[in-house]
Amino acid sequence: MKKRESRSKISLVVGIEPQNYRVAEPRLNKPVCFKKIEGGTEAGSMLVQDLEEIIISGTRLTYFTPNNIAILLSISNKSLAKAKNIFSEKLDPQKVNLALQNAGINKVDFLNKKSSEVCNYIESIQTSITFAYTALETFANLSIPEDYIYEVKVKTKGTKELYDKEAIERWVTLRDKLLYVLPDVYGCKKPDKQKSWSYFIKLEEYRHDIIHQKSINSTEFYKTYFRRDIFDVCNSAEKIIRFFYKQNAEKNRTNPLWPWMINSENYFPVTYSFDSQNFEVIGNLYEGYKRRK
């Protein structure tokens, strides 16, 4: 089916009752649960999941819409898992010999081998850091309603500055979005009392070191990747998103931007404004459907 007011949007009814839905791919957008209320009683429901299409060399590919945040978190998590594996098998001094003087083979060969393993580890850690931070930034920006206004008092001038959604995305730091904007948007507590917040501060620092390198010859910051808390740093973005999710789930609220990766429960975006006049049935998966004009 497709929405009449949005002719370019095609969706598939993937179920009737939320409790019977099974997650096939956690990197996709959640279905939206439409509920019809008559006389204060639920008269019916359906789960509607958005579809997208693209033409590849003349062939039409149809797929469920991916979730931006989930894709970014997935890249970060896979890279983190790879980094953990490299460290455990190649760089953990409790399991393998790292001392050049104790190498039983040619010293140059040993040095080259370990250097290659270090590079593989750095690549994985940097990928995890970069995409974790980007996932959190994407989550923050997508969370801001189109009509939201952020007010900042300028003490030195005794004035106020007002930021709309576009200005917030562009000019407000991610740290301030998480501390001030999102708690206001979601009506919840600030995340700075959470243990993951101190790791986020490091994540932000490490990410900026990667993106804004002052000197290409400076590699000192790579050594931070061998600190004991590096894996917690990489995990901090997902934990902060979970922090906001948990507070909203407790209020029985959720929305389409929340990825399945943040929760295993069948929490769906729910709307009670179902109106059949807003939808047009254009076909089904087995017999096909009318193409959009």
Domain of residue 80 covers 68-258
Same domain, 25 and 129: no
Residue 250 lies in a domain: yes
**pLDDT of 187 strictly over 50:** yes
38 falls within a domain = yes
Residues 9 and 121 both lie in one domain: no
Residue predicted with more confidence, 248 or 29: 29
Q: Residue 263 falls within a domain, yes or no?
A: no
Residues 186, 176: Cα–Cα separation, whole Å: 15
More confident residue, 92 or 215: 92
Q: Does residue 126 sit in the same domain as residue 218?
A: yes
Q: Give yes or no: residues 187 and 55 share one domain.
A: no
Q: Are residues 135 and 56 in the same domain?
A: no
Q: Look at the alpha carbons of 9, 12, 14, 18 in this order and tell me if their dihedral is positive or negative.
A: positive
Domain membership of residue 101 (yes or no) is yes
Examine the domain organization and report whether 46 and 167 are in the same domain: no
User: Which amino acid belongs to residue 249?
Assistant: A
281 vs 2: CA distance, rounded Å:
7
- Structural domain tally of the chain? 2
**Residue 15 near residue 21 (C-beta atoms within 8 A):** yes
Query: 163 and 217: one domain?
Result: yes
- Residues 46-61 have pLDDT tens digits of 888 899 999 999 999 9
CB contact set of 263 (below 8 Å; sequence gap of 6+): 242, 245, 249
- Do residues 198 and 105 share a domain? yes
d(CA 165, CA 169): 6
Same domain for 132 and 274?
Answer: no
284 and 195 fall within a common domain: no
The three-state secondary structure class of 83 is helix
Mean pLDDT computed over 239-268: 76
Pick from 128, 268, 255: which is nearest to 182 by CA? 255
pLDDT given at position 175: 96
Mean of the pLDDT values across residues 181-198?
Answer: 94
Residue-wise pLDDT for 43-98, tens only, equals 677 888 899 999 999 999 999 999 999 999 999 999 999 999 999 999 999 998 88
Residue 7 DSSP class: T
- Supply the pLDDT for residue 289: 60
Asked if residue 273 and residue 240 are part of one domain, the reply reads no
State whether 81 and 201 are in the same domain: yes
pLDDT of the residue at 264: 56
| Domain annotation covers residue 149 | yes
Of the listed ranges 37-41, 106-110, 175-179, 274-278, the least confidently predicted one is 274-278
Q: Tell me, yes or no, whether 134 lies in a domain.
A: yes
Would 214 be classed as within a structural domain? yes
Domain presence at residue 238: yes
Give the pLDDT confidence score for residue 6 in this predicted structure. Answer: 45
Say if residues 111 and 98 touch (Cβ distance below 8 Å): no
